[in-house]
Amino acid sequence: EAGVAQSPRYKIIEKRQSVAFWCNPISGHATLYWYQQILGQGPKLLIQFQNNGVVDDSQLPKDRFSAERLKGVDSTLKIQPAKLEDSAVYLCASSTSSGSPTDTQYFGPGTRLTVL
Amino acid sequence: AQSVTQLGSHVSVSEGALVLLRCNYSSSVPPYLFWYVQYPNQGLQLLLKYTSAATLVKGINGFEAEFKKSETSFHLTKPSAHMSDAAEYFCAVRRNTGGFKTIFGAGTRLFVKA
């Protein structure tokens, strides 16, 4: 079974530029998550999708971050414009559904963003 | 609000020694608890999860964790450390925000000395 795919793996941009990350979840997984992991911290949920609807985006900085999941499969996370404090690893994860609190989340390798 | 606290940002053990990584949770209701491992430049991988079926939970790679309600703890252990266990470990709790949001601890980096 193929895992969660993310691209690019690394990205370096200057502040105020825009950047986009792509995620392809495991086939058949209805729920998709985007996390931000700042160096030395645990991952923080940015947004959670159930199919192509948003379940939780309470910690997404909506003035600069946006995410979409068209057709309930792939997802894109965008930052526009980027700030220095956005430097982090952006992790995508997927699970079969959000119906059970013990659903296993499967994580991709992440995209390491450096903002200069 | 539910949260987890991991005691010790770094833990160092010798190969073959006991591994003990500490996690305490705060929750007003029975929690759903998880341990994840993250190897360098990789995503997180689930080690084990507490589902209330048993207080002692066995996971992959010889790890286990015991849920102790009286101590609000869910410490991770492994009897004998291996060099390949060197990684970052995250304790996490899941809370219901309409979609069961996962809250991660700050992580504990495990070093294994030869």
CB atoms inside a 10 Å sphere around CB B47: 23
Number of neighbouring beta carbons within 10 Å of residue B36:
25
Q: What integer pLDDT is reported at residue B1 of this predicted model?
A: 65
pLDDT of residue A71: 85
Asked if B49 and A102 come within 8 Å (Cβ–Cβ), the reply is yes
CA Rg, chain B, in Å? 14
Contact A107 B45 (CB under 8 A): yes
Residue of A nearest to B50 (CA): A102
- The average pLDDT across A2-23 equals 96
Partner residues linked to B36 by β-bridges: B46, B90
Measured distance CA(B17)–CA(B82) in Å, rounded: 9
Q: Distance, in angstroms, between A111 CA and closest chain B CA?
A: 9
Under 8 Å between Cβ of B51 and B65? no
Tell me what pLDDT residue A43 has: 95
Smallest Cβ–Cβ distance between B98 and the set A31, A55, A104 belongs to A55
SS3 B99: coil
What confidence category does residue A5 fall into, taking pLDDT thresholds of 50, 70 and 90? Answer: very high
Name the amino acid, one letter, at A101: P
The rounded percent of chain A whose pLDDT value lies above 70 is 97
For residue B28, the model assigns a pLDDT of 66
From A50, A100, A109, residue closest to B42, measured CB to CB: A109
Query: Using a CB cutoff of 8 Å and minimum separation of 24, what contacts does A22-28 make?
Result: A22/A74, A22/A75, A22/A76, A23/A74, A23/A75, A23/A76, A23/A77, A23/A92, A23/A108, A24/A73, A24/A74, A25/A73, A25/A74, A25/A75, A25/A92, A25/A94, A25/A106, A26/A1, A26/A2, A26/A94, A26/A106, A27/A1, A27/A2, A28/A96
Q: What is the pLDDT of residue B22?
A: 97
- Give the best residue of A10, A32, A34, A45 to mutate against chain B (max B CB count within 10 A): A45
> Does pLDDT of A98 surpass 60?
no
Residue A93, pLDDT score: 96
Q: Which residues in chain B are closer than 8 Å to A44, comparing Cβ atoms? A: 104
Inter-chain contact B94–A98, Cβ cutoff 8 Å?
no
Q: pLDDT truncated to tens, each residue of chain B (114 aa)?
A: 668 999 999 999 999 999 999 999 987 666 789 999 999 888 899 999 998 778 899 999 999 999 998 899 999 999 999 999 999 999 999 876 666 788 999 999 999 999
The C-alpha atoms of residue B62 and residue B48 are separated, in whole angstroms, by 10
Q: What average pLDDT does the segment A84-105 reach? A: 88
Question: Which residue out of B100, B104, B108, B109 would a mutagenesis test of the A interface target, given it has the greatest number of A Cβ atoms within 10 Å?
Answer: B100
Do the Cβ atoms of A56 and B98 come within 8 Å?
yes
